[in-house]
Structure 1
Amino acid sequence: MRLYHASTVIVEHPDTTHSRDYLDFGRGFYLTSLHEQAIKYAERFLRRQKDAWLNIYELKDDLKEWNILHFNQYDKSWLDFVAACRSGEPTKEYDMIVGGIANDRVILTLDLYFSGEINQEEALKRLIFEKPNIQYCIRSDKMLQQCLTYIESKKL
């Protein structure tokens, strides 16, 4: 499967070390299978007068031996997991997590929920109408080395 990672630099050897804390799925190397989503993300760098690179990878097909968590929609499980990761709470160890990204519209709902302005029920009502933009968070350096192959980088 072809995956994309937008950055200000070429990333031939991805790792989890350079990840920020408190992201949607915790520390890890984030990718998407949606080319348009990766381009849109990279355009943020261009607006800030920075270089923008689209790094392209191939993810191995057979991932049966890895511990992977899938979220197919913005539901209570997804919301609870993202809330835990964004607040720095420990979560179960996974090699990779696949699920919806907290894009601009989704993040507004999350901010209201995290601040206590809306409850979980209201947050879930709002999220049900959002179609997830899929992200892949590889949290294991071992999985990065064994399952993700660098293809090329394109400067935007």
Structure 2
Amino acid sequence: MGIPEIDLDRCFSGLDFGRGFYLTSSYEQAYHYVQLSVRKAIRIGTVSEDFNPNDGQISVYKFHYDPNILAYCFQGASVEWLHFVAANRKKDLFPQLIKKYSTIDIIGGKIADDQTARTLQRYISGADFGVPGTPEADREAIKKLLPNRLQDQFCFRTQDAIDHLEFIRSDRYGDIKL
């Protein structure tokens, strides 16, 4: 659906960079995410089962820079990125990173697509790569992640960050021609 008004209270936790409103700089990535979003919304009951995916929306925003907004962007699929994503998905892993980034308004970095999500889950479980956080497990997980086409995502985690977004428009999925 179009989201002209952002409500952080409606945002889920347990996502890559924690609780917040997620955006991408890639319109194409947002377009490809609509179908998945509609399926998830139907599954959790936020839209009716007969919702037409063509009626899904891509909301477009403009960010108004403010030097007082604290932002951090992970550069690539680094060990710290891996640990932070894992920490947000499983609360007892790497609590020091949750604390380290707790005051950041906007966190950016690579997005975990479906293949990446499977690799991350295998890493978090410790079953395939060894104990999360060990050099061996980190090295193996990152080796599996690097070949993937990881796009970007930005998590707006605070109301102050949200207040610097200007809603531009929403585009109906079924009307978009890429």
Q: Is the 8 A contact 1:23 1:85 kept in 2?
A: yes
Q: CA deviation at 1:45?
A: 4.3
TM-score by length of 2: 0.76
Q: Match for residue 171 of structure 2?
A: 154
Residue in 1 that maps onto 2:110: 100
Q: Which letter does structure 1 place at the counterpart of 2:116?
A: V
C-alpha distance in 2 between matches for 1:17 and 1:41: 22
The aligned counterpart of 1:77 is 80
RMSD: 1.7
Report the TM-score when normalising by structure 1.
0.85
Of residues 33, 37, 59 in structure 2, which corresponds to 1:41?
33
Note the C-alpha offset of 1:46.
5.2
More strand by share: 1
Are positions 1:54 and 2:64 aligned together? no
SS at match of 1:54: strand
Whether the aligned pair in 2 keeps the contact of 1:74 and 1:100 (CA below 8 Å) is yes
| Cα drift, residue 78 of structure 1 | 0.3
Residue matched to 2:69: 66
AA at the equivalent of 1:34 = S
Q: Distance in 1 between matches of 2:124 and 2:147?
A: 19
Q: Distance in 2 between matches of 1:132 and 1:63?
A: 27
The whole-number CA distance in structure 2 between the counterparts of 1:46 and 1:86 is 22
Larger C-alpha radius of gyration, 1 or 2?
A: 2
Long gaps (5+) in structure 2: 43-49, 130-136, 174-178
Matching of residues 15-34 of structure 1 within 5 Å: 15-34=7-26
Measure the CA separation in 2 of the matches of 1:136 and 1:63: 16
Residue 3 of structure 1 aligns with which residue? none
1:22 corresponds to which letter in structure 2? G
State how 1:132-143 maps to structure 2 within 5 Å: 132-143=150-161
The alpha carbon displacement at 1:15 in A equals 2.5
Query: Is the aligned partner of 1:144 residue 2:162?
Result: yes
**Residue matched to 1:6:** none
SS of structure 2 residue aligned to 1:150: strand
